[in-house]
């Protein structure tokens, strides 16, 4: 298991691998620096903190 610490970070869900297993695109990290990198993110392995996921919804009109 890999330990990651995200402090108030914003990322984009790049790909859904399976339920609770995502690839996220993010930048300004220790691993990737100022370029955008893609990392695996397993929601089922989060042990503390908050994860907020927003899904855009098309306005009716």
Long-range Cβ contacts of 11-14 (<8 Å, 24+ apart): 11/41, 13/53, 14/38
Above 70 in pLDDT, residue 1?
A: no
Question: Is the whole-model pTM more than 0.75?
Answer: no
Number of structural domains found in the chain: 1
Q: Parallel, antiparallel, or unpaired for β 37-42 and 12-18?
A: unpaired
The number of beta carbons lying within 10 Å of the beta carbon of residue 27 is 14
pLDDT at 42 over 90: yes
Q: Does the residue 61 lie in any domain?
A: no
Residue 38 domain-assigned (yes or no): yes
Confidence band for 40, pLDDT divided at 50, 70 and 90: very high
Q: Is residue 59 one of the residues assigned to a domain? A: no
| Parent domain of 11 | 1-53
């Amino acid at each position: 298991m890999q330990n990651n610490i995200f402090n108030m970070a914003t990322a984009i869900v790049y790909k859904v691998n399976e339920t609770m297993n995502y690839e996220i695109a993010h930048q300004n990290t220790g691993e990737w620096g100022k370029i955008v990198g893609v990392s695996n993110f397993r929601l089922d392995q989060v042990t503390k903190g908050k994860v907020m996921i927003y899904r855009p919804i098309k306005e009716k009109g």
